[in-house]
Amino acid sequence: DYYKANTAAYEEADLQRIFVPKLKPQEKDAAQSKDKPSEEDVKKKEQESEEATKKLADSLRARAAAGEDFDKLQDEAYASTEMKNKPPTKLGKVRRNGLPPDELAVLDSKSGEVSQPIANPSGYFIYKVGEKNTLPFEQVKQEISTTLSQQKLRDEMQAIQQSATPELNEKY
């Protein structure tokens, strides 16, 4: 029954991902100006950098949807940064518990679809969903058993804690 009620938790998809790191603000006039930049200038540069990163992410997403190679697009995303170690684009089989909560909507996509860029404090993620399947009951039986026993233990502990009401005895 638990398996049937929670089949979405046992779906897995073959994912590819492009990470577009946030571009650093350009330091214009840094050599000319010895003064510390004003807070307004810093915010303006950060806003411009954010817009440039979003534009790059949208461009890479459109090209990925058109069928371009994810490794090539990932190289291009990192070409404008100083970062050396780029992440792999092939994530393999991933389940819902393997993604951050704000990226779970990706698994609701159909096979072959490319997601819209998903904002993150460090950049943007673009996913492509490959083959999807649901793990058979026999393969997740032990996991379900463990989950249900932990849930029962939590429920029992909560019942015990709620049944006891501490009382402060001033005389003691």
Q: Residue 117 has what pLDDT?
A: 92
| Residues 6 or more apart whose Cβ sits within 8 Å of residue 140 | 3, 10
Residue type, 98: G
Q: Residue 145 has what pLDDT?
A: 92
**CA–CA separation, 107 vs 133, rounded Å?**
11
In the block, tokens 């807070």 appear at: 39
**Other CB atoms closer than 10 Å to residue 88's CB: what's the count?**
12
Which tokens is 14 given? 């073959």
**CA–CA separation, 95 vs 143, rounded Å?**
13
Tens of pLDDT along the chain (172 residues) come to 888 888 888 888 899 999 988 876 554 444 444 557 678 887 888 888 888 889 988 999 999 989 888 888 888 888 877 777 788 889 889 888 888 888 888 888 888 889 999 998 888 999 999 898 888 888 888 988 998 999 999 999 999 888 888 888 888 8
**Other CB atoms closer than 10 Å to residue 94's CB: what's the count?**
20
Q: What are the angstrom distances between the C-alpha of 43 and each of 22, 24, 50, 56, 114?
A: 15, 12, 10, 20, 32
Q: What are the angstrom distances between the C-alpha of 71 and each of 25, 77, 95, 142?
A: 25, 10, 22, 37
Q: Residue 26 has what pLDDT?
A: 54
Which of 102, 97, 100, 95 shows the shortest CA–CA distance to 129?
A: 95
**CA–CA separation, 90 vs 83, rounded Å?**
19
Cβ proximity of 132 and 111 under 8 Å: yes
